[in-house]
Amino acid sequence: MIPGTPPKISPSVLSADFSRLGEQINSIVAAGGEVLHLDVMDGHYVPNLTFGPLVVKAIRKMTDLELEAHLMISNPDKYLESFISAGADVVLVHPSTCESVADTLKAIKSLGSKAGLVVNPDEKLELVVPYLDQMDQLLIMSVFPGFGGQSFIPSVLNDLAQLRPLLEDNDVLVEIDGGINQQTIGSLNQIGIDRFVAGSAVFNASAPPGENYINLLALLNG
């Protein structure tokens, strides 16, 4: 947790209605949103396909919100420049997809973006330790990457307390992704997570995204 900074919700557009994406993003902006989470999937690293730099560029034109690109793709090094020039402010990569994790993080930073590593539920959080001084962000997956709407896996937080001092020493922001919704978010507010990704809990048919966003934030702060 970065001291003095209230936790944020990062809506994932994965569950948005792409036929009216601009309107949905505006609803988040009007509700006070600060960041958007963009789930990039290649049908190879994960068994689902979403979008690439062209859509990131289109979203960049729609909004000034901070854009974090979560790259669930093989060989991310090949595409870093495309995503960053398209407007990604933060690039999050899975270590197992990088030939050299240190080189990938260095490349992201030298292209002018913030850099982060993503840890899957079946991986150890401690695998990021050698890279903490190169990282701005740690994304803890609380579902297996690939699809929205899955159930939260609580055990992914087991080793967070142990890693906490190192994360703080290195000013690494902690984010969690998957299964964050009205039922789960309230119990996660005291454990020092800076950012909560929420896809299907924000973009759904029950209310406009901005309204869902405000309700989630209230549960987080309540």
- Asked if residue 145 lies in contact with residue 156, where contact means CB atoms within 8 angstroms, the answer is no
Tokens, residue 1? 């947790």
Contact flag: residue 136 with Zn ion (CB under 5 A): no
Residue 65 or residue 100: which is nearer to ligand DX5 going by CB? 65
39 is an active site residue: yes
Contact flag: residue 180 with ligand DX5 (CB under 6 A): yes
Candidate residues 9, 14, 185, 214; the one interacting with ligand DX5 per rule CB under 6 A: 14
Distance CA 98, CA 75 (A): 6
End-to-end Cα distance, the chain: 18
Residue type at position 68: E
Distance CA 148, CA 156 (A): 17
Residue 136 or residue 177: which is nearer to Zn ion going by CB? 177
Residues 134-153 that bind ligand DX5 (CB under 6 A): 143, 145-146, 148-150
159 is an active site residue: no
Site string for ligand DX5, 56-75 (x = CB under 6 A): --------------x-----
Radius of gyration, alpha carbons of the chain: 16
Tokens, residue 33? 């949103």
Specify the 3-state DSSP secondary structure of 52.
coil
State the nearest-atom distance from the C-beta of 113 to ligand DX5, in Å. Answer: 18
Candidate residues 7, 9, 15, 128; the one interacting with ligand DX5 per rule CB under 6 A: 15
Residue 150 partner contact from Zn ion, ligand DX5, none using kind-dependent CB cut-offs of 5 to 8 Å: ligand DX5
Contact flag: residue 70 with Zn ion (CB under 5 A): yes
CB atoms within 10 A of CB 103: 12
| DSSP label at residue 121 | T
Helix residue ranges per DSSP H, the chain: 21-30, 53-62, 80-86, 101-110, 160-169, 209-221
Bridge partners (DSSP) of residue 114 are: 90
Residue 178 partner contact from Zn ion, ligand DX5, none using kind-dependent CB cut-offs of 5 to 8 Å: ligand DX5
Q: Which residues are catalytic?
A: 39, 177
Contact positions toward ligand DX5, by CB under 6 A? Answer: 12, 14-15, 37, 39, 70, 143, 145-146, 148-150, 177-180, 197-201
